[in-house]
Every structure is written in structure tokens, then in C-alpha cells.
Structure 1
Amino acid sequence: MLPEQVGDWVLHELPRLNEAILNQHAPPELLVTELCEHVLPGLPDPTQLTPVQAQRLVVHLGFAGASVARHYQEHTPGGTEHPERAFDVLTAGEERIPFRRYFAGLAQHTGTGHYDRDSYASLVRWNVGTVRVRLHGEVVAELPGVFDDGRIRSYTGTAGEERFFLLVKQGEAIELAVNCALEPLTAEHASLICEKARHRVREATVLLAELRRLFRDFASRPAEETMAADAFMDVFRQFAAHWTPGDIPPSGALDPEALKRDFLLGIDEPEYDRQARRLFPALLDQERTEIGNLMSDCPLPCRVLAEVGVDEADLRLSDEGDLRRLVAHHPALIDWHRLLTMHAQVSGAHLMLSKKFLFKPQRQRDAAGLGDQHLVSNRAGTTGMTETYLERLTRARQRHTLAALRPVLIPENRDPGADPAVRSDRGAAAPVVLELTG
């Protein structure tokens, strides 16, 4: 098939085949036969493609490869021990290049440093159309996709899978907008307490409030408007099987904008740097560089304290009178505290999503003696993050650098979009609008 035909096949035939195999209406070998006889033989040499064409084909073959890996391991005794054998009979192009080697060459030709298997970047960012974020009516971030057909590719063609991919990309787009607001403050001589800096911090807080709302809204809606937990656990997640032993499957933990925000704002978790670096092979080149640079920089809140002449230890030992005087003298601390508090609340909303769609249902299954999936465990995220670890990260974000100011500041349980401190310069509450194009 030509690349365009592969795209049509992934949109229409692959979901049908996956559904048939999952429902035991077809043998898993049927998918391999279709790929060998109709899809892979006509693929071009990757060097004949433009980088964008290569990106699109990476998306399509990523879905195909994930499907092959899953069905092989579910139906082959010992398949999880040697997942790479799922691809033994698959070759691509006239030269019959082994599938995984062809995929690796294709990924390299994108020029992005894409991983040699499907990844967060291809499944979410490239797959879903361009998402724009508007604040006060102005575009503050744009997260492009590589397709312009208005479609979202998925494993089984269900609306729930499409909604989940869209949710994750919308979340990343908002995170990108937050980071775009904050990253100029990392400049060496930038003031973090001047009015311009405070404005950026307020804007970032409003954007994070929208991200929290997005997560909460998805968690609160009925299953028919989102995705049923059983479908998430037993269908969707099981396509994140290994292609080779020890590789890194796609995961929300690979969202680069979330990682950047943690390093911009700081996180009191000793293992976090090591965990982030463990994910580096599955990130794109630019993401690795940007995150690595932020990891070596001083977090912005620490620089704020340095600018006002206080260190974190002294802040924690200060009495309320000293804290009130400090805030009165440096009101920018209020804005930064609100930002860090909202950052922690977003973490809590994300944890709530994880509990609803993964950890709580699995505990119920365990209590009923139903056990776990043997392919992709539902007792942890696909990169191994457990519920306990995610709870620890949320608590670490709550223990932020300015947490000692909490007793002297107004309780912040309101929506910051309605707070005068985070209104636009025109005095109107700052709306955040998400637009999906392409």
C-alpha cells in the first residue's frame, strides 16, 4: 500500500480487525496476514518521504505494531517474555525490511528523534488535530498535529478512545500555554516580582485552573460521554504492551509539558529527576534538551525567594507577623503562591482521574478475587507509576517552596478565573477557549 492507503486502512480496517480478534470472532493471525499481504509490501523507502509524511506513517504503523504486539502476547504462551517475536514475520517494502527496523528508520527520518516504537508523541500529539488555546480571545499556544482530515485514529474506532486522546492533547496544549507564560522568566536577569512577571504568573494560574476544570469535567461525566473504566483498563491500556523487553510504552507520564512545569516550579521528590531521565529515550530530541536544561536550572520559586532576600528555611521558621510583613512588602508572593497552589490542585485532579479510571476499579477487582490483566497491569501506570507514588507526587507539589505562606493568605478555594487578582487588564474574567482544527 501507499502511505495514504495505509492511513485509510488504519482508520477503517484495523479497528474492525481488532474488534473481531478481541471478541474472538477472528484469529489473531488474521491481522498479521492482512499486514503481510496487503499493507506492508508496498511501503516506500523512508528516505523517499517528507518528514511530515514520515510522521504520519509513524502514527499509522504505531497503531498497527501495537495491535500486533498485543494480540501476539495475549494468545502466545510465554509471549510477554519475548514480545519482539510478534514481529518476526513482518517485513516492509520491496526489500522486505524487518518491521521494527523499518519503523526505526522511519522514525529517524521524521527528524524529531522519535522512539523506535509507538510513543506519546505519535499517539497523541501527532495523531490528534491541532489544538489552539485562547486566553482573553488571543491565541497563547498552538499544539499542532500532522493530519488535516479531522479524524482521530484509535485501536478499536470507539468514541471513548477518541475522547481520551483528545482530552490528553487538550491538556498538553494548556500546559504548553502555561509554560509559554512562565519560560521567559527563566532568563538570567529576569525579575520575577515586577508587574510584568506578576501578569505572566496570573495568566498561568488561570490556564492551570482551566486544566483542572478539564480533568474534573471528564471525571464527572457519565461513561457514555467519556470512556467506561472497563474499556480503559481491558481494551485501551492493553495496547500499550512491550515491543521489546524493557522498552517504554506510551504513557501520559511522557507528556513533556507536564514534566517541564514540574521543573519550572520545583518538586520536593528526591526520585523525580531519576524517574524523568528514565523516560528520556521515549521523548523527542527537543523535549529531552529542554527538560534537561530545566532540570539543571534553579526552579522559579527559589529564584523568587532569592529576589526578595529570603531563603526557604527562614520562610518556614518565620512567625505569622513576619510572613505578613514580607507579603505586604512583596505582594508578588501572593501571585506565586496562588500559582503553586493551583499547580498542586491540577495534580490532585489528575490523581482523581487515575483513581476513577484505574486504581479504584482494580482494587474492586482484587477484592472480588478477579485479579489483574497479565499483559499490562492495571495496578500501575504503563511506565510503572503506582497509586502510592502518584499520591506522593501530589503531596510533594502541595509542599511547594512557598507553602509556609499559606496561613497568612486568603483561603484559595475559589475559581481563580473569578478572582480580581487574575483578571485580564481590561477587568473582565479571563476565559480560556480550546479550539480543535484539522
Structure 2
Amino acid sequence: MDDELPRLNSAILHGDAPPGLLADQVREELLRYLPEVDGLDAEQAKQLVVRLGFVGASMARHHQEWNAGGKADPERAFDGLVVAERPFREYFAALADRTGEGHCPRDSFASLVRWNVGTVEVRRGNELMAVLPGAFDDGRIRSYTGTPGEESFFLLVKQGEAVELAVNELLGPLGEAPLLGDDAIDRVRAATGLIEAMRRLFIDFAARPPEQSMPAEHFLDVFRQFAVHWTRDDIPPSGALDPEALKRDFLLGIDLAGYDHHVRRLFPALLDGERQEIEKLMGRPTLPERLLDELDLDEADLRTAPIAELHGLIGHHPGLVDWYRLLAAHARAAGAHLMLSKKFLFKPQRQRDDAGQGDRPLVSNRAGTTGMNEMFLERLTQARRDHTLAPLRAALPRETGEKPPGTEVRSGRSVSVALVG
């Protein structure tokens, strides 16, 4: 399955095989050999969810691309596909349930990225900061067409999630702790260095030549077009469904009207534990809000304070600079993510629109698969820049306020994010 599916997808996309061949092969060579769901343990179920997620997305894409009305009735892609008299989507839903994670009845961020890619470790110097396991230990990264670009993209996204996990594990325990104490400041500084390292991952990926990352044409016309609906109201996989990134927004705060509603709209595509953790964070004050509360201040006090008062506040509480740097790093990482979106999605699609080439008929390249367009992402990035401690910017030299101290932390060179399994 891992080798044959990419080969068939490539053949169909290049016109070397009829689009119905995949469904025929799945029916004759795969479904009849699938195991009973009740006989699988959770890890085996995860592995099969990953593999059949790629199969389902591929069949859905080819059906919708080559059949009139296929996009309006996406469920028809699975007509006649049964596993021991159980329809394919019903079998997949049972598999998803068997994982014990509350996985949705289609492919997802969890299956495509976290479970598909092997274990990733995040280290800061010699210290292990986080481990994000995969469901496989064979060293392979499964993909739609088997290109190095697809594999490297999945790896990049999982590396980002692993770093975010490390950051959240540093900041999460501060929920009840004094936020200007030595332990809190140590955690804040470490988290800042990790976020800077993640930003560097994004920048380095964007700087690679197309053959070492992913050509924009492949991203637009091949990779993204597998993120089709399986049913009319489901949520296709997207990087916007990275739960650790969502958690960090609610830990550090984001002042954007309707953001809570936007995130809750994504809940059906998340795992049970992810929904619960994000919901819990939504109901708590953010860490910067708690910090101001410790100082008996509010945001209005900061925004209206003269620079002399801000200097005095920083002088009495130098840890504020570390918190400011953390929030600034968070904003810069969001800017790097926006840069990737512009480079691989929005800019090339805008060039196509300007040339009169239009959009793709299956998955629009004018917005992300969860519906976030370029303007919305720009608003998100700006909201992260306008963070709770942003008024301190006026009282800080640029080198002090915008960049963490020390070359190693600033560049992220002391941080490694490695695929180890």
C-alpha cells in the first residue's frame, strides 16, 4: 500500500492510467484483506487510519476531479467499496474509534502528520525538551505521490508541532506559579529560544531551492488537491489544525474578535484530548493577563503610561523584558508562517489570477483548507504583534526588546529538532 498508492496516483495524474483504476485496485487488492477492527490494538488502528486516510483522500480526489457533480456529492467516491460487508467509510470510522483518541471519520492533521511521520525529539543543548511519537518506526513518511517534497513538508509540519509541544510543556505549568520568579523566567527564556528555532526551521525551508522543498506548482496542483471533502460538511486536514499552535495562542493570548468561535469550528477535526485542553485554556486568563494582574496593572495602564513610567516598571521588574521577548518571538514565528503561506500558496495563486488562469476546481488555492484567506492570516499575525506587553516596545531598545540575549538562543543553533524513529 505504501508504495503502490503513490505510483497509482502519479500515473493517474499524468494521464498514464484511468482515474477509476485506483478504486478498482483498492476493491480487488486491498479491502478484502483488511483485518477485523476488533482484533486491532490502538497502535495498529492508528497505522491503518494513516494508510487508509491516504487511500480515501486519493479515491475522493480522483472521483471528484473526473466525475461531473462529484464535488457536490463527495460520498459517491466510496460507492461499492466494502470491507467484509461494511462500507468503507463505516469501516474507517470504526478504525478511528479503535484508536481511542476520538479521531474523526476521515484523514486528519493527526493521521497525516503526527502519526504518519516517525518520532521527533526536541533538544536544547543536551536537554531533551519534548518527544512527539509517530505510529510507525520504519523510518518512512507516507505521502500521496511519493515525492521528496511531500515527505519534507510533512516532516517540517511535525517538527513545528514538536517544538510547539516543547514550548507548551514549559509554559503550561506556569498557570498557578509566580510569573516573575526565577523558575518562571528560566522557562520563558527557554521557550523563547525554542520558538526562535521553530521560526528558523520555517525560514530555512522557504530558502531551499524548489527541488529540495516543494515546487509551488506541486503544492497547488497536486498536494493540496488531495484535501477534498469525504462528506459535504467534514473538515479536510490542514496545518491550521495543529493543536499545539492553537494551545499556544490561548496560553499567550490573541486579541482577535471571533477567534474562539473560529477555533471551536475546527473542533470536529481534532482529537478528544486536544479539544479538552484547548477548551480549558479558553476558559482561563492568559499568562500575560496573569502577569499584569500580579503587578496590579491592566492593559489600559500600559497603553497610556508615559515612557518614563514604563522605564521605571521595567527597572523594578526586569523579568518583564523576558516576557516581552517571548511574545515578540511568538509574533515573529507567526510572521514566518505567514511568509510560507504567501510563498507557496497566496503569491503563486495571485500570479495565476493576474494571468487569467483562475483557480483549481477542487480545492481552492485562494484560501487554506479551513477557509482562512490571506487577509485573515495577516490579521492573525498582526494580532500576535499587538500582544499584551506591546506597549513596552517604546521603552526598550530594539536590540534588547526584539531579540533574545545570546547568539545561541537568538539563532536557535542550540536547539535540535530531529527525526529519530
- What TM-score range do you get, normalising by the shorter chain? over 0.9
TM-superposed deviation, 1:226: 0.3
> Residue type of the partner of 2:184?
A
* Corresponding residue of 2:312: 325
Query: 409, 416, 425: which is aligned to 2:404?
Result: 416
Aligned partners of 1:209 and 1:417 also within 8 Å: no
Which deviations, in whole Å up to 9, do the C-alpha atoms of 1:74-116 show, x marking residues without a partner? Answer: 0000110000110011111xx3210000000000000000010
SS at match of 1:416: coil
Output the TM-score relative to the length of structure 1: 0.94
> Residue type of the partner of 1:28?
P
* Corresponding residue of 1:276: 263
d(CA) in 1 for partners of 2:173, 2:385: 24
* Corresponding residue of 2:65: 74
Aligned partners of 1:63 and 1:155 also within 8 Å: yes
SS at match of 2:32: coil
Query: 115, 120, 123: which is aligned to 1:134?
Result: 123
SS at match of 1:41: helix
Question: Is 1:209 aligned to 2:196, yes or no?
Answer: yes
d(CA) in 1 for partners of 2:59, 2:226: 9
Query: 178, 182, 197: which is aligned to 1:191?
Result: 178
Aligned partners of 1:206 and 1:430 also within 8 Å: no
TM-superposed deviation, 1:410: 2.1
Residue 332 and residue 61 in structure 1: after superposition, are their counterparts in 2 closer, same or farther (change >3 A)? same
* Corresponding residue of 1:87: 78
Aligned partners of 1:126 and 1:147 also within 8 Å: yes
* Corresponding residue of 2:349: 362
TM-superposed deviation, 1:416: 2.9
* Corresponding residue of 1:433: 416
Question: Is 1:256 aligned to 2:243, yes or no?
Answer: yes
Query: 25, 33, 36: which is aligned to 2:27?
Result: 36
Aligned partners of 1:417 and 1:431 also within 8 Å: no
d(CA) in 2 for partners of 1:80, 1:417: 52
* Corresponding residue of 2:150: 161
d(CA) in 1 for partners of 2:47, 2:403: 39
> Residue type of the partner of 2:248?
R
SS at match of 1:141: strand
Aligned partners of 1:206 and 1:417 also within 8 Å: no
In structure 2, stretches of 5+ residues that fail to align are: none
* Corresponding residue of 1:290: 277
Aligned partners of 1:58 and 1:103 also within 8 Å: yes
Query: 172, 181, 191: which is aligned to 2:161?
Result: 172
Aligned residues: 420
Which deviations, in whole Å up to 9, do the C-alpha atoms of 1:305-344 show, x marking residues without a partner? Answer: 1111111111101000010001111111100000000100
User: Equivalent pairs: percent with the same residue?
Assistant: 62
d(CA) in 1 for partners of 2:403, 2:386: 21
Aligned partners of 1:209 and 1:415 also within 8 Å: no
Question: Is 1:152 aligned to 2:135, yes or no?
Answer: no
Residue 308 and residue 222 in structure 1: after superposition, are their counterparts in 2 closer, same or farther (change >3 A)? same
d(CA) in 1 for partners of 2:119, 2:152: 15
* Corresponding residue of 2:222: 235
d(CA) in 2 for partners of 1:391, 1:150: 36
Aligned partners of 1:68 and 1:86 also within 8 Å: yes
